[in-house]
Amino acid sequence: MIDRLIEDIEAKKNPTVVGLDPTLEMMPEHLVEKYLGDKDPEAREDGNKTESVILNIAGKGSREQAVMRNVADMFVEFNKGIIDAVADIVPAVKPQIAMYEKFGTEGIRAYNETCSYASEAGLTVIGDIKRGDISSTAAAYAAHLGGAEVGGMVFDTWIEDAVTVNPYMGSDGIRQFKEECEKRRKGMFILLKTSNPSSSEIQDLVLGDGRTVYEAVADLIDEWGSDLIGRYGFSELGAVVGATHREQGEKLRREHPYMFFLVPGYGAQGATAEDVAGFFDKKHRGAIINSSRGITSAYRKEGRAGNEFADAAREAALRMRDQLRAAIGME
Amino acid sequence: MIDRLIEDIEAKKNPTVVGLDPTLEMMPEHLVEKYLGDKDPEAREDGNKTESVILNIAGKGSREQAVMRNVADMFVEFNKGIIDAVADIVPAVKPQIAMYEKFGTEGIRAYNETCSYASEAGLTVIGDIKRGDISSTAAAYAAHLGGAEVGGMVFDTWIEDAVTVNPYMGSDGIRQFKEECEKRRKGMFILLKTSNPSSSEIQDLVLGDGRTVYEAVADLIDEWGSDLIGRYGFSELGAVVGATHREQGEKLRREHPYMFFLVPGYGAQGATAEDVAGFFDKKHRGAIINSSRGITSAYRKEGRAGNEFADAAREAALRMRDQLRAAIGME
């Protein structure tokens, strides 16, 4: 994963990953009408269109199944629009599985269809799944990278090039993912210093030896990933470091030269291109910056019509690319 | 969740939760033949029945979809057999979502059908999902407890009474689940000291103030759960503590009287009823002990025929109940 990602970042001169985190609120009106509306003119008049209208959704199975199927199909159509709009200018997408999982089995189907479509478009797919467990359970989760074997055949039940993983359980939770990274040239990003305010509650606790918990985790990630370093000097085992932690990110960059950072928190959480410039090394490598709503909801922020959502996303992605290029001096 | 769970433990005099963690290896032969085999007599003779046979699976969609659908249906039938066999003698089940997620969208369907069947059988369903994320993502994951709202209606996209949650990101990852615990009388178990050997790598790091990381997490869980204490003095925010850590469990029991423990690691990971006796308080309350393969694969360990899997599970669950009762002096 890591070599290909770095090469694609350089080919496109853009260290951006687009977060595909759909919500109902984010959906353009024409998609809401198509999938959750609108056959009953009377229902329109009571001011709560969607509520009245989804009662009319029909199809196989229960009403719940039908509503969830339509939500899932709507998310897929939206995501395909975004992917088509940005595939030639960004190297990667990062679907956040929680936004799909919210809608149950159908939501998971939409997640898989999104990953599959992005992969076919040539993008690196980083599944933001934040899984973490032990032994046989970790092995089962590792199917995200390695597939599921049934009767001697391996089926790719998930379509991801890399996933995010939680380190709290230690190397038992890492090992099985790592084996798949090695076997299938996949990657993983281990939660290190997350972008949220309360990340301090555990990650910033100070150990007896003076390190913080997250600094100790960084040392572990170095150790775990030291034998999977690719041709550009970065390990397949990267780390998640929030853009909101400028100083910590710069220090981690200096102290962990082999560690590739997946960086959330840009834009919506307030961090700027200047804040993340120090997450890169002198060759402009070592990090990829995520933006989700800042790109996918740009049409809304700019007050544009819903059917311009893809155009607006492309323009926002180009602006972000140019801001990052300028901040890190990538030419 | 917590009051009902405690009452059901006492009604059944059994602090056991049965882990529903299906694997292909665990499936009885008659179910493998039903779902993954066996129309081709020639295939039987080459010694690799399943491999040859699943090629014959037909149905809607691709072969992959058909195979996954059949694996999912097999897991559901197996789980229903286990649930029917133990529903009157145990208070709860704990499906481990990873074992289902391995098989993609169809696997998730099997997870949901399992949760639904167990819930209808009157069991408390503890979803072992170990999720953890922040802000809008945490809110999406909280649909596991709170459902998904579409057009003013709430749909229960998941059927769980409680879930396991990873604390690494701090209270931002807890808050949204907790709100659903409060609104809908649900519960959560936060990873504290996990049963695996490498849990020491992060959880046992010693802080400047002398506490270990997991002890600091325990203090946070106390703080987070202090306003959701039920009528028996236990919080809806419990903790996962491995049965393999006898001394640590006993100390946590003394120091955190309001914290209910979900305890994995019994049996398969080597811990005994005596090891977990100290996880309970003087009223025999405060913990529920998980066994997965020790119950669901009992038929195999005992060399019994596959079609006795449910009987063997019931007998194993009764033995475990009696061992726990004796060890903690529950009459």
pLDDT digits (tens, 9 = 90+) for B34-75: 999 854 444 444 444 444 445 455 555 688 889 999 999 999
Question: Which residues from A are below 8 Å from B130, CB to CB?
Answer: 131-133, 166
Rounded to whole angstroms, how far apart are CA atoms B68 and B35?
10
Rounded to whole angstroms, how far apart are CA atoms B290 and B16?
6
Rounded to whole angstroms, how far apart are CA atoms A8 and A16?
11
Rounded to whole angstroms, how far apart are CA atoms A6 and A119?
16
Rounded to whole angstroms, how far apart are CA atoms A199 and B172?
8
Give A144-166 pLDDT, tens digit per residue.
999 999 988 999 999 999 999 99
Give B228-280 pLDDT, tens digit per residue.
999 999 999 999 999 999 999 999 999 999 999 999 999 877 899 999 999 99
The burial of B244, by beta-carbon neighbours within 10 Å (0-12 exposed, 13-18 middle, 19 or more buried), is given as: buried
**Stretch 96-135 of chain A: residues touching chain B, C-beta under 8 Å:** 96, 98-99, 101-105, 107-109, 112, 130-135
pLDDT level of residue A263 (50, 70, 90 thresholds): very high
pLDDT level of residue A60 (50, 70, 90 thresholds): low
Percentage of chain A beyond pLDDT 70 is 93
The burial of A119, by beta-carbon neighbours within 10 Å (0-12 exposed, 13-18 middle, 19 or more buried), is given as: middle
Q: Return the residue matching tokens 């809110």.
A: B139
Q: Return the residue matching tokens 């639904």.
A: B116
Mean pLDDT of A181-187: 97
pLDDT of residue B51: 46
Least CA distance to B108: which residue of chain A? A105
A181: amino acid identity, one letter: C
Give B255-267 pLDDT, tens digit per residue.
999 999 999 999 8
pLDDT level of residue A110 (50, 70, 90 thresholds): very high
Task: Choose from A55, A164, A168 for mutation: most chain B CBs within 10 A.
Answer: A168
Q: How many Cβ pairs within 8 Å bridge chains A and B?
A: 233
Chain B touched by A199 (CB under 8 Å): yes
Rounded to whole angstroms, how far apart are CA atoms B319 and B16?
11
Q: Is the pLDDT of residue B330 over 80?
A: yes
Percentage of chain A beyond pLDDT 90 is 88
Rounded to whole angstroms, how far apart are CA atoms A36 and A51?
9
Reported ipTM: the value is: 0.93
Rounded to whole angstroms, how far apart are CA atoms B313 and A281?
57
Q: Using CB atoms, which residue from A141, A152, A168 is nearest to B98?
A: A141
The burial of B106, by beta-carbon neighbours within 10 Å (0-12 exposed, 13-18 middle, 19 or more buried), is given as: buried
The burial of A192, by beta-carbon neighbours within 10 Å (0-12 exposed, 13-18 middle, 19 or more buried), is given as: buried
Write down the pTM of the prediction.
0.94
Q: Is the pLDDT of residue B135 over 90?
A: no
Q: Name the pairing type of β-strands B16-20 and B92-95.
A: parallel
Chain A touched by B47 (CB under 8 Å): no
